[in-house]
Amino acid sequence: MNKTETLEPLLTALCGAPPPSQLAGHLAALAQEVRVSRGGSAPLDHRRDLFVYIAQGSTKLVASASAGREQIVAFHFAGDIVSVPAHSLHSYSLNALEPTHLLIFPASEMHAAIAGNPAVLTGLLQRVLTALHRCRDKAVGLGRKNAGERVASFLVGMAERIGHAEGGEITLDLPMSRRDIADSLGLTIETVSRQFSEMRSAGWLRTQGRAHVRLLQPATLAAHAGHVELRSP
């Protein structure tokens, strides 16, 4: 599969229609195509703003504060677009959770390339807005929720993105480790593990091996996620 073909789903998703082949070719010329193995980190040029398209696989965007403390800012799955700024208060890296296929674009050149196509530009804006809103929700969780609520939020959120509904239950295959979950929720692995244990014994979920999770009571879980209640007064 060549770069242009890899790009097609991206463009289709962005503008909601089959893309003009000229644009696809133009973008393909800009893109650096990279395959990253599980645990590897994407070769990012931190001197310039970037967009990264996740063609296949899944990634985590990791920020490092001082003293080696790490915070996972977001998880991404196939089809997602990630924005990585040139330099920031914290140093960012993009790591693969499984064998992953990426297209890396310099932001300024991508802007120029799609400037003539408002539909694509608007689509990109929409993606960035979604990322912003997810990040805000994460900030609420990190600032104002306890460990149980954070883990419940995480599971509910992942269920929406990569879960498979089966009757009233949802099954999940989590590509990330407990450490990743902890680093994403601002907790320690031990606390995450304890929360999983409590939820297991409460009958809210069942786990199989490291990755497989079955949410037995998604509604209960959602109710304990600390989201604003859709009240019936």
Partner DNA sequence: CGTGCCGTTGAAGGTTCTCAACCGTGGTGG
Partner DNA sequence: CCACCACGGTTGAGAACCTTCAACGGCACG
Footprint on this chain of a copy of itself (rule: CB under 8 A): 49, 61, 63-67, 69-71, 73-74, 83, 85, 88-92, 111, 115-116, 118-119, 121-122, 124-125, 128-129, 131-133, 135-140, 142-145, 149, 153, 183, 185-186, 225-229
Q: Which of residues 146-205 bind DNA (CB under 7 A)?
A: 146-148, 177-179, 186-194, 196-197
Which one of 89, 209, 228, 230 is in contact with DNA (CB under 7 A)? 209
Q: How far is the CB of 149 from a copy of itself (least distance, A)?
A: 8
The nearer residue to DNA, 53 or 75, going by C-beta atoms, is 75
- Could you tell which of DNA, a copy of itself, none binds residue 219, using a CB distance below 5 to 8 A set by kind? none
- Could you tell which of a copy of itself, DNA, none binds residue 194, using a CB distance below 5 to 8 A set by kind? DNA
Q: How far is the CB of 7 from DNA (least distance, A)?
A: 32
Q: How far is the CB of 210 from DNA (least distance, A)?
A: 4
Q: Is-contact 102 42, C-beta < 8 A?
A: yes
The nearer residue to a copy of itself, 23 or 119, going by C-beta atoms, is 119
Taking each helix axis from N to C end, the angle separating 3-15 and 118-144, rounded to the nearest 10 degrees, works out to 80
Q: How many chain residues are in contact with DNA, going by CB under 7 A?
A: 20
Gyration radius of the chain's alpha carbons: 19
- Could you tell which of a copy of itself, DNA, none binds residue 118, using a CB distance below 5 to 8 A set by kind? a copy of itself
SS3 labels along the chain? CCHHHHHHHHHHHHHCCCCCHHHHHHHHHHCEEEEECCCCECCCCCCCCEEEEEEECEEEEEEECHHHCEEEEEEEECCCEEEECCCCCCEEEEEECCCEEEEEEEHHHHHHHHCCCHHHHHHHHHHHHHHHHHHHHHHHHHHHCCHHHHHHHHHHHHHHHHCEEECCEEEEECCCCHHHHHHHHCCCHHHHHHHHHHHHHCCCEEEECCCEEEECCHHHHHHCCCCCCCCCC
The nearer residue to a copy of itself, 49 or 173, going by C-beta atoms, is 49
The residue ranges that bind DNA (CB under 7 A) are: 146-148, 177-179, 186-194, 196-197, 207, 209-210
